Structure 1
Amino acid sequence: MYTRLALAAECSINMASKPAVIAWGSGEDGQLGIGNNEEKEWVCTITALRNQNVSSVVAGSRNSLAICEDGKLFTWGWNQRGTLGHPPETKTENIPSQVKALATVKIVQAAIGGWHCLAVDDQGRAYAWGGNEYGQCGEEPERKEGRPVRRDIVIPQRCVPKLSVRQVAAGGTHSVVLTREGHVWTWGQPWPPGDIKQISTPVRVQGLDSVKVIAVGAFHNLALLNDGTLMAWGNNEYGQLGTGDTQPRSQPIPVQGLSDLNLVDIAAGGWHSTALTDDGEVYGWGRGEHGRLGFGDDKSSKMVPQRVQLLVGEVIVQISCGGTHSVALTQDGRMYSFGRGDHGRLGYGRKLTTGHPAEVPINIPPLSDEGRWCATLVACGGRHTLAIAEWRKSEQPL
């Protein structure tokens, strides 16, 4: 079975060197973490994280975070709503800094929403910070004349304290967590503001048990069950629920056309969705504008999942979906990007918008005369991408 974790075994890694955290795309809010606010059309290294053993990265719409093996959490980028987890003394920060409020716990997973963040530690405790006017941080929002008032939570605080959390996921203005028991809970504004009243206190999503992993887009949600069934609910204007229509669903419904496949992972972009099979094939559906689905065109939306034929022949172990682009990671550590190309978000030096997956070259200094950089994880944001790469030594010619 191929998953994103299989890559470590496939690549022979030089463990004497720390992984490199790399980035490309828009840097206008400092989200690349390279010490300036320039955009990069090619891969560059986040040197401030060079001495950290980074195990995971997350890219948001305008900010970023990294989690280290020892549980330290670093954030950078847009900070006007307190999304970096410390008082917003500056509007943006272009160098990663540790979130001191979480320094005494070991963070193992995190998520970035529209303008709020979630994290979970190794004890199953969840934390939230950033914008909270829709209750997305798990705290009752303040109101004035019946309307929510902007309130930012700039220091991470506990949320859903009664739940033992395994995974957190963040949408545009809502939050979703997966508990260690396999249940799903949600709160905040799960629909575009104004459509449906927000959920002020966490509620359990009915009809979901034995959930393996969750993924959340701007206003839609996916849940992969242990038996391989994929469920979806939420906004559906572009068919991102995969139900064959564009009707929204307030309760989970099975995604069509995937029942005969052995799914191992899922991902959700702003308005599109993907699923990964155990033999490394990718299925995509939802909004197709700018070619973010990888079907070769730049506009076709799909209301039911379809196999991404342009990736057939590659064994994909992870796919990440951003606002308008996607990146697929292969078993041997290569990355293929597709979708909207302005601001360098595709990572290969051209601003061409394309639905044809093309390889992202990892053109950073080599560690020796033999070998190459091998990507192990990728994270797409609104207009930028982050990845982790480790040096691969091979006795065979590359």
Structure 2
Amino acid sequence: MAASQPASNSVILAWGSGEDGQLGMGNWEDKDLACSVKALESRHITAVVAGSRNSLAICDDGKLFTWGWNQRGTLGHPPETKTESVPSLVKALDDVNIVQAAIGGWHCIAVDDQGRAYAWGGNEYGQCGEEPEKKEDGSKALRRDITVPQRCAPKLSVLQVAAGGTHSVVLTQEGHVWTWGQPWPPGDIKQIYMPVRVQGLERVRLIAVGAFHNLALLEDGMLWAWGNNEYGQLGIGDTQPRSQPVPVQDLAGLSLVDIAAGGWHSTALTNNGEVYGWGRGEHGRLGFGDDKSSKMVPQKVQLLAGEDIIQVSCGGTHSVALTRDGRMFSFGRGDHGRLGFGRKVTTGHPMEVIINLPPPKSSNASNGRWFAKLVACGGRHTLALATWTSEVELTVSG
């Protein structure tokens, strides 16, 4: 059955597992090819985020839409349903302009254009940054779920937010990193509900957070890591955890421009489009061609050499790389169709994701193609932003 024409020349693409409605298609079906999220075609979307079982989109007017799993209030509005398969507006944030957001294990965190942070969803480890409630017997307890977004880290001026399995991390305007929640696998370390500054990090320009590990890229190009290290995801040559940041090895002399963290793996991107990966290699999520080898230090992904990569997104067990000319290559675990190949294949060999959509109704030019601008990997699904680009525009930009 042929795909219908998108109404707009800018679309959200989704594929993979749909069992919790996280694809936004109005149903709970898996998709093994990229499909357009029809409900948001009339909106100008600037960013998408894929979580373990849910998704969100940010519009150019600062509105935030969420969909997918909602049993912990992760969608940001009263949990009248367990799952929602159609994107809905987060009304509690309607009067602010959201510019960036992140989804953790079962909580979300967002920041507006004034540097104010908000959190909602699961909070049993303090990951939403709310102080414990005082009970009748005088004891205190954390509220398990926060279903409506509320301010967090009110004393901080936030530039970027990131979320792990049960913890939150923010980068401030001053270049400092703060964190709260349960930063390690539950039970290992007592949770912290108030923001604590990560010592030893100055002039940070970008952060990335996996399930229980963290990355921070400094303005001088140095990459630091801390947290869980069971599969070498810190990139420091061993599998011992670190409670304080340590330099990632074997990246000296490279000009890093971006970083990404999956559940248990990490990537770094250089200014000349080269990708380095490390951490858990099972299912081929590192892109080295095999399906099992973990790497304790960063290694160049040779199978992407020459593709001029401008972004990599890491999910739970798969990854997607975006090229400068708007193509996507995915690799890793393939069940539920999360790689977008049209077949449920698991592979460590990066393969191109074909955007098989017709030209948009708004376009007068049939000669052109869909050009991917951003990718976002979740637990078992993938999202992307794409725009229709005519052959004339492609020639000029090339």
TM-score interval for Structure 1 and Structure 2 normalised by the shorter chain: over 0.9
Cα distance, 1:149 vs structure 2: 6.2
1:95-116 Cα offsets, whole Å, 9 max, x none, are 0000000000000000000000
Taking the aligned partners of 1:376 and 1:251, their CA distance within structure 2 comes to 35
Q: Give me the whole-angstrom Cα distance separating, in 2, the residues matched to 1:30 and 1:331.
A: 30
Which residue number corresponds to residue 299 of structure 2? Answer: 306
Match in the other structure for 2:385: 388
**For 1:160-209, what per-residue CA distance to the aligned partner results, in whole angstroms no more than 9, with x for missing partners?**
00100000000000000000110000000000001111112110000001
C-alpha deviations, 1:114-159, integer Å up to 9, x for none? Answer: 0000000000000000000000000134699999766100000000
Instruction: Name which of 31, 48, 56 aligns with 2:47.
Output: 56
Cα distance in 2 between the residues matched to 1:281 and 1:93: 38
Contact 1:141–1:151 (8 Å) recurs in 2: no
Moved more, 364-373 or 335-344: 364-373
Given the alignment, which residue of 28, 37, 40 partners 1:37?
28
- Kindly indicate whether residue 166 of structure 2 is the aligned counterpart of residue 173 of structure 1: yes
Match of 2:329 among 326, 329, 336: 336
Q: Which amino acid aligns with 1:263?
A: L
Tell me which amino acid in the other structure corresponds to 1:154. T
| In structure 2, C-alpha distance between the alignment counterparts of 1:142 and 1:263, rounded to whole Å | 43
Whole-angstrom distance in 2 between the partners of 1:267 and 1:299 = 20
Q: How many aligned residue pairs are there?
A: 383
What does residue range 1-398 of structure 1 map to in structure 2 within 5 Å? Answer: 17-141=8-132, 151-367=144-360, 368-395=365-392
* Structure 1 residues 196 and 71, CA gap change in structure 2 (3 angstroms): same
CA distance in 2, matches of 1:112, 1:386: 13
Contact 1:375 1:389 in 2 (8 A): yes
User: Counterpart in 2 of 1:12?
Assistant: none
AA at the equivalent of 2:20: D
Could you list the structure 1 runs, at least 4 aligned residues long, displaced by more than 3 angstroms after superposition: 141-150, 395-398
Q: Distance in 2 between matches of 1:143 and 1:171?
A: 27
CA deviations 1:49-81 (Å, max 9, x no partner) are 000000000000000000000100000000000
Does the Cα contact within 8 Å between 1:265 and 1:276 map onto a contact in 2?
yes
Bigger CA drift: 18-27 or 126-135? 18-27
Instruction: Work out whether residues 128 and 193 of structure 2, in 8 Å CA contact, stay in contact via their aligned partners in 1.
Output: no
Separation (CA, whole Å) in 1 of partners of 2:156 and 2:382: 31
| Secondary structure, aligned partner of 2:391 | coil
Gaps of 5+ in 1: 1-15
Which letter does structure 2 place at the counterpart of 1:33?
G
Q: Which moved more, 1:195-204 or 1:264-273?
A: 195-204
Cα RMSD of the aligned pairs, angstroms, is 1.7
In structure 2, how many angstroms separate the alpha carbons of the residues matched to 1:329 and 1:201?
A: 36
What residue identity is the alignment partner of 1:296? G
- The corresponding residue for 1:11 is none
Secondary structure at the residue paired with 2:283?
A: helix
Amino acid at match of 2:298: P
Q: Percent identity?
A: 78
C-alpha separation in 2, matches of 1:392 and 1:120: 31
Cα displacement string for residues 203-235 of structure 1 (whole angstroms, at most 9, x for unaligned residues)? 000000100100000000000000000000000
